[in-house]
Amino acid sequence: MATGWQASNLTDDEVADGESYHRALYLDGDVERPAGWHRDSISHLIDLAMPHIQQGSLVVDYGAGTGGSAIELLKRTDAAGISIELVLVDPLVSWFSKARELLDHREDAHFEFSMYIDVNGKMAFHRLEEMLNGRLADVIISSSTLHLVPTKALQDLGVQFAESLAPEGVFVWDSGDVESDLLPATASLLHDPYRAVREHLKGDSVRKSLLAEMEEEEAQKAERRADRIFPRPFSLEVIIDAFNSAGFSSRVTDRVVGFSNDDAKRFILVPRLSEIAAPLIEGEERDKAVSAAIVAVLSEMREAGTASEQEYRSHWVYGYHTITDSS
């Protein structure tokens, strides 16, 4: 059985939120049937990590979410007959509890919940060194997470990772939502379609009238919250600079990954993500507005040359970092 953090008293909404994101990664929630984009995007990340993973390695999955990256990594290590110790780290109860449920049967999985409320009542994150309790990891992976970390926190995260890795250790990450010169004209960033859905929904008449009924300040706050769900992407250099200044040497590779129309619809209908349509309330009306908008956006992408009839082409970057030898 897995060890570490376990959720208690989950609400129905939290359970549904974790289940829904899990189903955006795995068809019908079956871990043997990953969505094509999830399988194809994570496979290169695991290719980069595997040469550094040996029998008994300590591996960290930073931003483990519902367990999608950990599950794919464990498939590979199991197939290679390598047993590892995997520490999963995440700050979101609803998604992380789904990961715990999915991996509960594994002796090799340990869960660390990273968020806490500090003495000033503010949200804060436990440091990785602290969560590893002095142990050093051989590999840290972070899939689809770094673009969510505020840029001002990236360098310190780099320091935490450098302090948490064994001398020969590596840190590898991927993201489909980072701007770079590597982006081909025929592809888009992973979240571009969903940012476009948000723009479409700004003109939705029901949504507009609900906003008009709210206090001005409250309405603005709701809009800002919805804009933060798919924040404007920052550039690859920001991440590389942050990790280099924390003492890493860096290499970057990229891939284009097809994201099917059905998967795109499933993805944006995850309740936490379709909050971009707020204040439309979760339910049929909101789902209808979001579904119509994603159909329109995918059609615009076909015209722009970043999508085919079946899928849009998402661009992923992969960072591979080793600790620079300062001696």
Tell me the site size for ligand SAM, rule CB under 6 A.
Answer: 15
- Alpha helix ranges (H) inside 187-327: 192-201, 205-212, 216-227, 236-245, 261-268, 271-274, 284-304
Q: Which stretch binds ligand SAM (CB under 6 A): 101-109, 140-148, 161-169, 314-322?
A: 140-148
Q: Which stretch binds ligand SAM (CB under 6 A): 64-72, 188-196, 213-221, 250-258?
A: 64-72
Residue type (1 letter), 73: L
Measured CA to CA, the distance from residue 206 to residue 224 in angstroms comes to 18
Place of tokens 């060194």: 129
**C-alpha to C-alpha distances, 61 to 5, 32, 93, 139, 175, nearest whole angstrom:** 15, 20, 16, 9, 14
The minimum distance between CB 125 and ligand SAM, in angstroms, equals 6
**Residue 176 is a binding residue for ligand SAM (CB under 6 A):** no
The minimum distance between CB 167 and ligand SAM, in angstroms, equals 25
Measured CA to CA, the distance from residue 232 to residue 135 in angstroms comes to 36
Measured CA to CA, the distance from residue 304 to residue 154 in angstroms comes to 33
Place of tokens 């007959």: 81
**Residue 145 is a binding residue for ligand SAM (CB under 6 A):** yes
Strands 248-260 and 109-113: unpaired
Q: Nearest Cα to 272, choosing from 63, 35, 65? A: 65
Q: Which stretch binds ligand SAM (CB under 6 A): 5-13, 91-99, 103-111, 191-199?
A: 91-99
Q: Which of 48, 49, 131, 149 binds ligand SAM (CB under 6 A)?
A: 149
Measured CA to CA, the distance from residue 239 to residue 113 in angstroms comes to 24
Q: Which of 20, 97, 143, 322 binds ligand SAM (CB under 6 A)?
A: 143
**Residue 63 is a binding residue for ligand SAM (CB under 6 A):** yes
Residue nearest to ligand SAM (CB): 65
Q: Which of 80, 124, 136, 148 binds ligand SAM (CB under 6 A)?
A: 148
Whether the upstream peptide bond of residue 279 has omega within 30° of 0, thus cis, is yes
The minimum distance between CB 303 and ligand SAM, in angstroms, equals 28
**Residue 144 is a binding residue for ligand SAM (CB under 6 A):** yes
Q: Which of 19, 37, 60, 68 binds ligand SAM (CB under 6 A)?
A: 68
**Residue 169 is a binding residue for ligand SAM (CB under 6 A):** no
The minimum distance between CB 132 and ligand SAM, in angstroms, equals 15
Binding site residues, ligand SAM, CB under 6 A: 25, 63-65, 68-69, 90-92, 95, 143-145, 148-149
